[in-house]
Structure 1
């Protein structure tokens, strides 16, 4: 996804006025210096820093990492979050937004679990301060508020936000496809509601980006996100039997449309249910999600939205324990109601 357009320009100019976290601030952090290793130079430009971060944390194969790369990713996220919370800013230098979004996307199996906030292993390993390995490969964990704030920092660039959302959509589709066709009860509800929870965190990021913007700027941001998601989706949409992930992702993206200014699009806030319905339709075996299952997905997405929005409202939040999503506090708007 290429950055650009009037919407991206406005967000860049707005952040320059309010003072985003600078590249020099990150370069002064010893954790960034260690993560970059031999690539580090004090005179690096922002674009060079972004490329060096990707070189340090991304492997030769998408989504596959060594423990050294995963440690670099963890250090990059934590040092960026510390710079944000120390400065009281919500944004970072514009040249770093897309590279950091690409990092978050490359670690989607991990960032999905962190956004979802339901996996106990990620609680344990966020405290361990080290990556770990299991049968599926190498993983890294940070506290969920850290990932939320860094994602918010990159999201001023609509292409960067779309990059993260598209990666999470693809992963959510894979989660559904991996559910056995005979599954019911908890074995069906847990992954479906987990998808919705992870997507609810991204709804809150979108709401936080647009809530204080002018009507025109908020509208442009949402329009640019939708355009980027449509552009990145497969076209024409493949048949489910040939490419189930492409079918779910492409069909969802094809029907996207921008919302009113300052309102998170309904296709975002209903995405957990929509992906579930598309999976059921693609299976073509007569399975139809129950209304209770669809309600569970809506509730999970809405509750995670409220919890995440509350995190973003805190100028200096403590480390939040990952765990089951809980309803946002009284007064927090539900998705689409702002």
Structure 2
């Protein structure tokens, strides 16, 4: 006996139900692959935090989503000139980091996706401070890292400091977004180049050896962050994260200059071009070798002899590996 056709209204209902189910499955897939805005509970708690409200000041509004909050916080923490801040801006950055760390800790290490890139951009503008905190440390930054100690100014400019563990947790949470990690890595790369370029050509002893060690410790800590992100993403998401990081680090590389003309540009561009030449397949190894590779370019530009160059590279690789291990254990 032939089957009777479905009534029109029932047929429409089944089509609608099927489409809805497909959309739900697709939505779940996107949620699992990309994350979702509610994975850390949104930003309501941050908006209620007194430190965030103090940082926002006159910019404070209600009902902002996480992306809007991140954008406004970037505006109140970053100055008009790169790397230069008022005491109020630096204090706002410190308060934001302390509040975000509390939120990240409560959320099991996660930060709402809308906050990741703008917070990374704010942190990138404080590369001289974050480089010290993630790297070998300095007395002023250690002593002034507690919540009760305000931002300060010295002959080098305005600074802020938070506990290293708090900064490391926040950088880890931010870096789950590959674009945010690229922002932080490029800022650390430029700061490393500035540290190396400041060394006099006739430097010897500690004056020659200390800057490579400092940069190795900072970049090694970021290597640990990248490793922790990769291990926790798992599967295809890890490959996608690495691919996006590589693309970000090798995108729009400027023309190179000579070391004498622009040493910072020379060091940064030389490393980025080497990364591009090796391709995405070798990007993980090149990231973990970055400080040593930059020191190679730098020591050749200074005209150091082969024995000194090899010694500097060896020491830099050891420093980077030690820093990566130490930061990795802190993130466990």
* TM-score, normalised with respect to structure 1: 0.83
**Shift in CA distance, 185/120, structure 1 to aligned 2, threshold 3 Å:** same
How many residue pairs match? The answer is: 299
- Give the corresponding residue for 1:76: 96
**Shift in CA distance, 239/139, structure 1 to aligned 2, threshold 3 Å:** same
- Give the corresponding residue for 2:7: none
Task: Tell me the CA shift for residue 18 of structure 1.
Answer: 8.4
- Give the corresponding residue for 2:205: 185
- Tell me which of 222, 229, 236 is aligned to 1:209: 229
- Give the corresponding residue for 1:258: 280
**Shift in CA distance, 216/66, structure 1 to aligned 2, threshold 3 Å:** same
In the alignment, the residues of structure 2 paired with residue 191 and residue 10 of structure 1 have an alpha-carbon distance, to the nearest angstrom, of 44
**Shift in CA distance, 290/155, structure 1 to aligned 2, threshold 3 Å:** same
Contact kept in structure 2, 1:11 and 1:157, CA below 8 Å? no
Question: Which structure would you say has the larger RCO, counting Cα contacts within 8 Å and 6 or more residues apart?
Answer: 1
1:123 equivalenced with 2:135 (yes/no): no
- Give the corresponding residue for 1:307: 326
Task: Tell me the CA shift for residue 11 of structure 1.
Answer: 8.8
Task: Tell me the CA shift for residue 259 of structure 1.
Answer: 4.1
In the alignment, the residues of structure 1 paired with residue 266 and residue 105 of structure 2 have an alpha-carbon distance, to the nearest angstrom, of 40
- Give the corresponding residue for 1:135: 155
Bigger radius of gyration: 2
1:97 equivalenced with 2:116 (yes/no): yes
- Tell me which of 213, 220, 223 is aligned to 2:240: 220
- Give the corresponding residue for 1:22: 42
**Shift in CA distance, 102/11, structure 1 to aligned 2, threshold 3 Å:** farther
By percentage of residues, which structure has more helix?
Answer: 2
Task: Tell me the CA shift for residue 281 of structure 1.
Answer: 2.7
After superposition, where does 1:21-170 map in structure 2 within 5 Å?
Answer: 22-88=42-108, 90-127=109-146, 129-170=149-190
Task: Tell me the CA shift for residue 232 of structure 1.
Answer: 5.0
- Cα RMSD, aligned residues only: 2.0
Contact kept in structure 2, 1:158 and 1:225, CA below 8 Å? yes
Name whichever of 202-211 and 298-307 sits farther off. Answer: 298-307
* TM-score, normalised with respect to structure 2: 0.85
- Give the corresponding residue for 2:301: 282
SS of the counterpart of 1:306?
Answer: helix
In the alignment, the residues of structure 2 paired with residue 244 and residue 154 of structure 1 have an alpha-carbon distance, to the nearest angstrom, of 30
Instruction: Name stretches of at least 5 consecutive residues in structure 2 with no aligned partner.
Output: 1-28
